[in-house]
Amino acid sequence: MADETVNQGIPTPDGHSDLIDTDYEVGQDNVQPQVGPFGLDIHNPVFFISGLAIVLFVFYALALPEQATAVFSWLFSAVTKSFDWFFLGAANIFVLFCLFLIVSPYGSVRLGGADAKPDYTYVGWFSMLFAAGMGIGLMFFGVSEPMSHFASSQGGVGYSVVYNGEMPSEALALVPGFETREAFDSVMALGGASPDAVTATLDEALTAEQRDEFSVSAGRSDWAPLGAAGGDAAEATRLGMAATIFHWGLHPWAIYAVVALALALFSYNKGLPLTLRSAFYPIFGERVWGWTGHIIDTLAVFATLFGLATSLGFGAEQAASGLTFLYGSGDAAEGTRNFIGIPYGNSEESGVENSSLLLVLLISGITAIALISVVRGLDGGVKVLSEINMGLAALLLVFTLLVGGPIFLLTFFADSLWAYLQNVIPLSNPFGREDTNFMQGWTAFYWAWWISWSPFVGMFIARVSRGRSVREFLICVLLIPSLVCVLWMSVFGGTAISQVVNDGYTLAKDASLELKLFYMLDQLPLATITSTIGIVLVVVFFVTSSDSGSLVIDTITAGGKVDAPVTQRVFWAIFEGAVAIVLLVGGGLASLQSAVISTGLPFTIVLLVMCWAIFRGLQSEKRGL
């Protein structure tokens, strides 16, 4: 690696590279205010705009929780229903763009200059790409997503009943025309595999006067992907795994690859700062250092923070549920389930509301641990924790693989990949779909979530990928983490589905999303130990995500500086936890989904424009070779 640097630790290119000639210097727009004993070094206005907006958001959600919950709910519904096609189409473009670069002459361009050598061996590089593919999401969805898609697919296509009359304001009050609320609820529970079937059922069950108040849902009410597989367990398994791999395979990693390639190309080859705005220099020129760039970086901050908050919220839900499942007391059906005296884990039927106090305490405590990691720095904090977590994750994966049947699960892995290849095109189709619940509630949310995470993961991948050719970079970034994610989902999801199909064990299938992992592990040997390891993994992933995420956000809000005061990372780590708390308290997982999908929408536009900027940048590199 070259010893000289252009900007803030970014090495000069080795060999030919088309450096961009600009007078901009990293940190030239920064201000260095003194807040008490703390000195800051922050970009004006990116830090102030993003920081103030997030602080106001937190106070709004705390001051007006009911209104905030209604807004979150409206946002999720409006964005997913109106822009589902946009998210799916954009993700398809990212995959096709990466495949084009792989087979095109631009694939021979080397990141870091024509003579640049890789900073890491293949083993070390693959390990770090593997690390980038692991996280809270895999712990939360490793069992819950394959099982959810399997169950909904096996349930088949469904249409539901719609009540057109005016509902009473009280939840359990009588509905006009019915002697009991139970009679009304039984009608609402009716359904069928087609609109005609539901219509016939309503005609038979209701009087003529009652029938006028009911109709059939305009679209499917089930959550199954594509055409479902009603009653066919084998096909439901294949379709469920294909849908899961679709959400964790090529498409999300193409999103990450686009951002990582842009950051690496314009920093290592063009000599620009390691920030999102640098990638847009071919389009906007020197304007990227002005308000055009300020807007891009501010959107990146919003997207990253809400993407992280969503992951942290999922982690807190799963940790709280796991702790109550393993070490709680009381009966969930009777509403007495609790952890250290805090009501949690009670069923909806019990009528007892689970306290959000446990979530608040967990997020606060884990954020405090993350602050210690932040203060200790990368080598003494997040690096050590990441190595511990990777070891524990590998241990849990190998244990489940061996106990669940290695031959069965490895065969299941291959079958699932083949099912994905068979279904990836219809799953990618953004138009004319009947499975709108799946497309909007799962896929659109996932693409927005991955896009929100892209500055975070992209910057990490860019930092470790200098010296690779564009072709080598894209092939490995698309395939290595994707295969790791698919293996994880196949081992944990395959074990859970096998328990249902072969053993008749349905508790994991019927459990809430955050509990499915623990119910699956409960049927394996050493259940308490493995479940405890699962909780530890969630907590440490929380810490490393918070630490690394605050580093990325701080780099952006410090104008590209990588040596800004630690105080600023502490600020962002605290507010990542605060945003996760107010979203969970103000509406649970639905609020998290609403926040991430609303911030992911504008940033999707940023990434689409980024593809053109990358192409322009590669064109200038190729001309000079």
| Residue 30, domain member (yes or no) | no
Same domain, 81 and 139: yes
Do 174 and 313 share a structural domain? no
Last residue of a domain, one of 171, 188, 216: 216
Q: Are residues 170 and 234 in the same domain?
A: no
Q: What is the pTM of this model?
A: 0.90
Q: What average pLDDT values come out for the chain (625 residues) when binned by 10 residues? A: 49 78 82 79 88 83 80 83 94 97 94 88 78 74 95 94 82 79 89 92 89 90 94 95 96 96 92 89 92 91 85 87 92 88 84 86 90 74 76 93 95 97 97 93 92 87 90 94 93 96 92 93 95 92 82 85 82 87 75 78 94 94 64
Q: Is the peptide bond before 525 cis (omega within 30 degrees of 0)?
A: no
Q: Report if residue 330 sits inside a domain.
A: no
- Residues 383 and 497 occupy one common structural domain: yes
- Classify residue 13: in a domain, yes or no: no
Exposure pattern of 234-247 as b/e (b: 16+ CB <10 Å)?
A: eebbbbbbbbbbbb
Neighbours of 561 (CB within 10 A): 24
Q: Are residues 103 and 184 in the same domain?
A: no
**Rounded Cα gap, residues 213 and 19, in angstroms:** 70
Q: Where are the beta strands (DSSP E) in 81-167?
A: 159-163
Pair 66, 146 in one domain: yes
97 lies in the same domain as 184: no
> What tokens does 36 get?
């008490």
Per-residue confidence (pLDDT) for residue 306, from 0 to 100: 85
Q: Give the residue from 168, 184, 216 where a domain finishes.
A: 216
Is position 11 within any domain?
no
Q: Is 48 in the same domain as 68?
A: yes
Is 322 among the domain residues?
no
Residues 63 and 119 both lie in one domain: yes
What range defines the domain where residue 523 resides?
Answer: 42-155+228-317+359-623
Written as one letter, the residue type at 128 is M
Report the number of distinct structural domains present in the chain: 2
For 288-396, strand residue ranges (E) read 338-339, 342-343
179 & 287 share domain = no
Residue 555: CATH number of its domain: 1.20.1740
Q: Give the pLDDT confidence score for residue 379 in this predicted structure.
A: 60
Distance of CA 404 to the CA centre of its chain: 27
Is residue 125 located within the same domain as residue 57? Answer: yes
Task: Say whether both 55 and 149 belong to one domain.
Answer: yes
Coarse DSSP helix, strand, coil percentages of the chain, rounded to the nearest 5 percent: 70, 5, 25
